[in-house]
Amino acid sequence: MNLAVLTSIAAAGFAVAFVHVILPTHWLPFVLVGREQKWSTGKTLGVTALAGVGHVAVTVIIGAIVVAVGMVAAPHLESYFQWVVAAVLVALGLYYLLRESHQHPEKPRRYLSDRAAIAGLILLLAMSPCEAFIGVYIVAIEHGWLGFTLLSVVLLAATASGMMLFTGLMLAGAKLVNLDALQQRESTILGWALILMALVVIVFET
């Protein structure tokens, strides 16, 4: 196992996951619903963390399926498997580079109870896994379940830190000067990150 390559992939995975949570859907609804429900800062951050765990869990389940299928297919593809992985990463990267960004946060609905509000926020993220990170999991196929576990920890760390950071800053009334620019460039950043990972696979593992 090439630890240098795995470390590079883990670092790139952290960047992909962190950039993904810049999207307002990962923190703004929690701020708005928290204010509507008269929640304390602690409770709002707690619900944010809970929803983040659900978001990560769904992504990890999908990633586990991808890795399991890939590990079965890898022996049959032999020396061509790295090129298949690289091709998938490039395709995902181009998808992000070419797609139009129409992601706008919707105004949260009014909830009758805290339970309904919490359930709604958790489902909001659970039903929209981090599809960009699935490309990162594809790279983990070459590193088996150890690579998958490392990337899952990276995904949890990046998602949790990003969601808590942006939610906390918004609750504190901080002005995120560069956040709009980062949101507009999210697809571009994710696209190039996936393409760079494909180059790492080609250079170091073929």
Say whether pLDDT at 5 is over 90.
no
Checking if the pLDDT of 206 tops 70, the result is no
**Residue that is written with structure tokens 């196992």 in the block:** 1
Is pTM beyond 0.95? Reply is no
Q: Say whether pLDDT at 11 is over 70.
A: yes
Answer yes or no: is pLDDT of 183 > 70.
no
Range in 39-48, 109-118, 166-175 the model is least confident about: 109-118
Tens digits of per-residue pLDDT, 118-131?
Answer: 888 888 888 878 87
8 A C-beta contact, residue 151 and residue 142: no
* Across 92-119, average pLDDT: 67
The tens digit of pLDDT for each residue in 139-172 reads 778 788 888 999 999 999 999 999 999 898 888 8
Average pLDDT rounded to a whole number, residues 101-110:
52
Residue 177: its pLDDT value, please? 46
Cβ atoms 21, 168 nearer than 8 A: no
CA-based R_g, the chain, Å: 18
- The model's pLDDT over 46-56, given as tens digits with 9 standing for 90+, comes to 999 999 999 99
Average pLDDT over residues 11-36: 84
- Residue 24: band (very low, low, confident or very high) from pLDDT cuts 50, 70, 90: confident
Phi, psi dihedral angles at 87 (to 5 degrees): -65, -40
Instruction: Tell me what pLDDT residue 6 has.
Output: 76
- The CA distance from 143 to 197, in Å, is 14
Domain boundaries, the chain: 3-205
